[in-house]
Amino acid sequence: MKKEVILLIAEDDEGHAALITKNIQRAGIHNKVIRFADGQETIDFLFGEGDGPHRQRGQSYVLLLDIRMPKMDGIEVLRRIKSDPEICKIPVIMLTTTDDPREIEKCHEIGCSNYITKPIDYEKFVYAVRQLGLFLLIIEVPKINGNA
Amino acid sequence: MTALFCVAFIVTQLLIIFAFLYGIPGTSYLGDYQQNRADSFLRLGTVADMKKAEVDQWIRNIRNDTRKFCASGITRREVARLLSIGQGGQAAATLRGNRAILSEVSGLFGSEHTTYRSIRIADARNGLIIFSSIPSEIGRSLDQDVGFLRVRQGNMPYHIDIRKDPLTEKANLSFCREILAPGQALGTTPIAVLLAEIDPEEMAAFILHTGVGLGESGEVVLVNQDQFVLTTLRKPLKDGSIALPLETRLEALPAVNAAAGAEGIIAGNDYAGVPVFAAYRHIRLSSDFGWGMVVKQSQREALASLREKMSLYAILSTVAVLLVLAVSLLLARMVSRPILRLSEVAAAVEEGNLSARAPEGGGDELGALGRTFNNMVHRVQEWHEELNLEVETRTSELSVANETLRKEIAERQKAEEELDRANAELEEKNRDLEQVVYVASHDLRSPLVNIIGFSREVRRSLSDIRAAIADISLTEQERKAIDAILRDDIDPALGFIAAGTEKMDRLLAGLLRLSRTERARLEIAPTDMDLLLEKVLRTFEFQIKKYGVTVLREPLPPCRGDEVQLNQVFSNLVDNAVKYLDPTRPGTVRITGKVEDGHVIYCVEDNGIGIPAAHQGKIFEIFHRLRPADSAGEGLGLSIVRKILYRHGGRLWVESEEGKGSKFLVSLPKKMG
């Protein structure tokens, strides 16, 4: 993954976010990380709404999106992203604590790029995040244009 | 009805009359008509035969008279002498004085049978009369007379016929006979011919007299060979003209038949066209010559007595018919009027007028009928009233019952509504509960991820600390103290944290599974249970071999269900069976199945440790574990199994004895709705 790609992490749980960030960095990915505490923040950032920070034109992003979040859940965020002709180009990797196959299916239907279960087994979790890191290293992330 | 009866009666009468007249077909009874006809025929035949005999006799007498005359030696000698004398007036004169012949002639005239009109003797050679009882005729010629001509030829000794006398122009019965010379042989040509002339009416006088036997219309008719009438007829012809003897030819069939030589009796028309019964006879005068005689009587007269009888029958029939009619009408008045009245009353009753009554007068059957009918109507009326009363009672009872029923229905509806509401509430609660379980298991895992994750991070930091401590210089005592904290306090603490969180995670995973089971969609299809169990047992191959378990599996009946979930059910049961075997004896697991009352019942049986009776009710509870210390698992298996079976419309129950083994029984409907 190119250095200029920004890693967006939408995760209400601060601990999870920290663990993910830590392990991604351990996997050798040192890109800039922006974290959102809920779905609404994420949407505001991407669509240029609200008072918080907004995305920049011509910047490339990858979004790690937790499903269970307050205010707006990950599935709704995903749906909004995928219904915008420009923003839909952002690769979205779903994060969830459940391995409910129906939930996974739903996300793939809407158009997520990948899906990661947050395992309690720490080794597995680390392995999964490392895999994610490898994934992020190889994918070609498009620049996102359009007004933020 | 009466008319029909009358017609039948008249027809019967006519049939009887017909039978009287013409006999009964197929029986020997011929009937009056046939009888009368036969009588008449017999009478006519008898008269005809008698008349014929009379005529025959009469002719025979003439024949005898003339033969006697002609055969007499005197006649023959004198005639021969006369002929030899000469011709003409001389001879006549001579003859007049010839007493010998006269005496013979007078013998003829003196015949007691017949009155002769005249006696002539003619010369056979030329027909000149050489002798006659009428002297003026002497010398005249008879050579045109048929009789003379026939006899002269010598072929036959005599000839008899009625013909017109060539001299007197009268119809005469003429008897011609040959006169031979003395000593002349028979069959040779005669020397003279005798012509004895007789008034035909003399014959007619007795012939035509038919006597009383044939009544007023009885008549005898005589015709010659050519059907010309020989006697005067009693009636005019068909065309009204009077018949003249030898001039009128009869065409009536009996006359024709008789003239032709036939004899018989027929019914036919006579010369006047009147229907008659006629007997006809042929009177043979010579070998090729004869007369026809018809004895007839009009049918009208012959059957007069029959007609009288018919008239009598007709009168009797008419009287009888009238009598029957009168009686019928009387009977109709007597019988049909009360019946009509009764039928009117019956119609009135039928229309609903139950108070209508028939007249009961008269001690006869009709009176009895009327009384019976009235009794019946009375009973019907009573029944009707009773019925009405009954209906009213029942109706009121029914309306009360209806009201009760309506109330009950309303109450039941209310109860049902309440039940529905309770059900809806329950469903909602159930949904809430599921949501709670789902959310809880999901959300509870989030902090766990942190606890586990960060305790790992702490451990990681701990090893970093150890490494850092190794590099810095510390007193032995300080190093020991730090080591003790790290090793004896933090390490075990992290260990407990890890174990606790892992257990927590397992429980939550179980809860998630349970909740997912609840929400999963069922894919019901016919399921081959033998195949399913084979798959299940394959996953337990390792444990089965490891513990040396004997698995007995009988062929299982198929059922309908979700294959994935049924797999889970039997995986759980087999897992439990293997898990709770008694290590002190060889383990046996038996899987059987049978069909019973529309259900398929499968049984997973083991000879394991068994379940104490007190625990048997609890094993299906969520998170209940039989022996928490001895076995792994979250205690959710049987809860899930029971949930799955519940959703299939099936059931799970256990039969177990501690220390001997357990039987887990699964019942599934044979057919799913």
A-to-B residue pairs, Cβ atoms closer than 8 angstroms: 49
Distance CA B31, CA B25 (A): 10
Q: What is the pLDDT of residues B467-495, one digit of tens each?
A: 888 888 878 888 888 888 888 888 888 88
pLDDT at A35: 92
Burial B428-463 (b: 16+ CB within 10 A, else e): eeeeeeeeebbeebbebbbebbbbbbbbbbebeeee
User: Do residue B512 and residue A98 have CB atoms under 8 angstroms apart?
Assistant: yes
Q: Is B450 on the interface with A (CB under 8 A)?
A: yes
A39 and A69 Cβ atoms separated by less than 8 Å: yes
Q: What is the 3-state secondary structure (H, E, C) of chain A?
A: CCCCCEEEEECCCHHHHHHHHHHHHHCCCCCCEEEECCHHHHHHHHHCCCCCCCCCCCEEEEEEEECCCCCCCHHHHHHHHHHCCCHHHCCEEEEECCCCHHHHHHHHHHCCCEEEECCCCHHHHHHHHHHHHHHHHHCCCCEECCCC
User: Do residue A120 and residue B449 have CB atoms under 8 angstroms apart?
Assistant: yes
Mean pLDDT confidence for B202-224 = 78
User: Do residue B453 and residue A16 have CB atoms under 8 angstroms apart?
Assistant: yes
Cα B574 to chain centroid, rounded: 78
List CB contacts (< 8 A) between B458 and chain A: none
Task: Decide if pLDDT at B630 tops 70.
Answer: no
Mean pLDDT confidence for B432-447 = 77
Question: Which H or E element spans position B363?
Answer: none
Mean pLDDT confidence for B645-664 = 88
- Hey, CA dihedral for A33, A34, A35, A39, is it positive or negative? negative
- Of the pLDDT bands very low, low, confident and very high (cuts 50, 70, 90), residue B414 is very high
| CA neighbor of B600 nearest in space, from B643, B552, B649 | B649
Which amino acid is residue B225, in one-letter code? Q
Task: Decide if pLDDT at B448 tops 70.
Answer: yes
Alpha helices in B113-221 (DSSP H): 146-152, 200-207
| CA neighbor of B71 nearest in space, from B204, B205, B223, B194 | B194
| CA neighbor of B653 nearest in space, from B606, B625, B619 | B619
CA distances from B655 to B2, B573, B630 (A): 97, 13, 22
Mean pLDDT confidence for B617-634 = 66
pLDDT at B60: 86
B655 and B663 Cβ atoms separated by less than 8 Å: yes
Q: What is the pLDDT of residues A27-59, one digit of tens each?
A: 777 888 999 988 888 999 998 888 888 888 888
Residues 37-66 of A with CB under 8 A from B: none
User: Is B484 strand, coil or helix?
Assistant: helix
pLDDT at B94: 53
CATH number 3.40.50.2300 is the correct assignment for the domain at A6-144: yes
- Of the pLDDT bands very low, low, confident and very high (cuts 50, 70, 90), residue A115 is confident
Task: Decide if pLDDT at A99 tops 70.
Answer: no
Burial B362-375 (b: 16+ CB within 10 A, else e): eeeebeebbbebbe
| CA neighbor of B253 nearest in space, from B241, B264, B239 | B264
- Of the pLDDT bands very low, low, confident and very high (cuts 50, 70, 90), residue B91 is low
Higher pLDDT, B279 or B520: B279
Task: Decide if pLDDT at A6 tops 80.
Answer: yes
User: Do residue A97 and residue B501 have CB atoms under 8 angstroms apart?
Assistant: no
| CA neighbor of B298 nearest in space, from B239, B210, B215 | B215
- Of the pLDDT bands very low, low, confident and very high (cuts 50, 70, 90), residue B93 is very low
List CB contacts (< 8 A) between B503 and chain A: none
Residues 6+ away with beta carbon under 8 Å from B164:
B170, B171, B172, B246
Distance CA B572, CA B130 (A): 177
Distance CA B274, CA B306 (A): 18
Which candidate in A38, A97, A105, A117 is best for mutational testing of the B interface (most B CBs within 10 A)? A97
Beta bridge partners of A94: A65, A115
List CB contacts (< 8 A) between B516 and chain A: 100
User: Do residue A19 and residue B512 have CB atoms under 8 angstroms apart?
Assistant: no
| Pairing status of strand B219-223 against strand B264-269 | unpaired
List CB contacts (< 8 A) between B452 and chain A: 120-122, 125
Distance CA B33, CA B40 (A): 10
pLDDT at B399: 92
Cα B164 to chain centroid, rounded: 82
- Of the pLDDT bands very low, low, confident and very high (cuts 50, 70, 90), residue B406 is very high
Distance CA B130, CA B126 (A): 11
| Pairing status of strand B550-553 against strand B588-596 | parallel
- Average pLDDT taken over every residue of chain A: 81
Residue of B nearest to A20 (CA): B453
pLDDT at B602: 92
Q: Is B501 on the interface with A (CB under 8 A)?
A: yes
Mean pLDDT confidence for B240-254 = 83
User: Is B220 strand, coil or helix?
Assistant: strand
B554: distance to nearest CA of chain A, Å?
Answer: 35
List CB contacts (< 8 A) between A98 and chain B: 441-442, 445, 512
Mean pLDDT confidence for B551-579 = 88
Mean pLDDT confidence for B267-291 = 85
Q: Is A16 on the interface with B (CB under 8 A)?
A: yes
- Of the pLDDT bands very low, low, confident and very high (cuts 50, 70, 90), residue B407 is very high
Indicate the residue of B445, B454, B457 with minimum beta-carbon distance to A120.
Answer: B445
Q: What is the pLDDT of residues B256-270, one digit of tens each?
A: 888 888 888 888 888
Residues 6+ away with beta carbon under 8 Å from B490:
B458, B462
Q: How many CB atoms lie within 10 A of CB B135?
A: 13
Q: Is A22 on the interface with B (CB under 8 A)?
A: yes
Mean pLDDT confidence for B382-399 = 90
Distance CA B618, CA A1 (A): 56
Mean pLDDT confidence for B128-147 = 82
pTM: 0.41
Distance CA B545, CA B95 (A): 188
List CB contacts (< 8 A) between A70 and chain B: none
pLDDT at B412: 92
pLDDT at B257: 87
pLDDT at B477: 86
Mean pLDDT confidence for B571-576 = 89
Q: Which of A16-30, B489-503, B568-582, B617-631 has the lowest mean pLDDT?
A: B617-631
Q: What is the pLDDT of residues B161-180, one digit of tens each?
A: 888 888 888 888 888 988 88
Higher pLDDT, B97 or A72: A72
Residue of B nearest to A19 (CA): B453
User: Do residue B452 and residue A15 have CB atoms under 8 angstroms apart?
Assistant: no
Q: Which of B145-154, B237-246, B586-595 has the highest mean pLDDT?
A: B586-595
Residue B665: phi and psi, rounded to 5, are -110, 130
Residue B145 corresponds to which tokens in the numbers above? 């007379």
Q: Is A98 on the interface with B (CB under 8 A)?
A: yes
Higher pLDDT, A133 or B449: B449
Residue of B nearest to A121 (CA): B452
Residue of B nearest to A14 (CA): B450
Indicate the residue of B456, B505, B516 with minimum beta-carbon distance to A100.
Answer: B516
User: Is B121 strand, coil or helix?
Assistant: strand
Residue of A nearest to B506 (CA): A120
pLDDT at B97: 58
Q: Is B535 on the interface with A (CB under 8 A)?
A: no
Residue A101 corresponds to which tokens in the numbers above? 């196959």
Q: What is the pLDDT of residues B328-366, one digit of tens each?
A: 888 877 777 777 888 888 888 888 887 888 777 667 777
Which candidate in A120, A123, A125, A129 is best for mutational testing of the B interface (most B CBs within 10 A)? A120
A75 and A110 Cβ atoms separated by less than 8 Å: yes
B495: distance to nearest CA of chain A, Å?
Answer: 14
pLDDT at B50: 86
Distance CA B607, CA B662 (A): 7
Task: Decide if pLDDT at B673 tops 50.
Answer: no
| CA neighbor of B668 nearest in space, from B538, B552, B522, B512 | B522
B522 and B672 Cβ atoms separated by less than 8 Å: no
Residues in chain A: 148
Q: What is the pLDDT of residues B37-55, one digit of tens each?
A: 888 888 888 888 888 888 8
Distance CA A62, CA A53 (A): 16
List CB contacts (< 8 A) between B457 and chain A: 19, 22
B468: distance to nearest CA of chain A, Å?
Answer: 20
Mean pLDDT confidence for B62-68 = 85
Residues in chain B: 673
| CA neighbor of B445 nearest in space, from A16, A131, A50 | A16
Q: How far apart are the first and last CA of chain B?
A: 75
Burial of B137 (0-12, 13-18, 19+ CB in 10 A): middle
Distance CA B293, CA B279 (A): 8
Residue of A nearest to B515 (CA): A100
User: Do residue A15 and residue B454 have CB atoms under 8 angstroms apart?
Assistant: yes
Residues 6+ away with beta carbon under 8 Å from B149:
B143
Residue B666: phi and psi, rounded to 5, are -115, 125
B494: distance to nearest CA of chain A, Å?
Answer: 13
Alpha helices in B472-490 (DSSP H): 476-484
Q: Is B514 on the interface with A (CB under 8 A)?
A: no
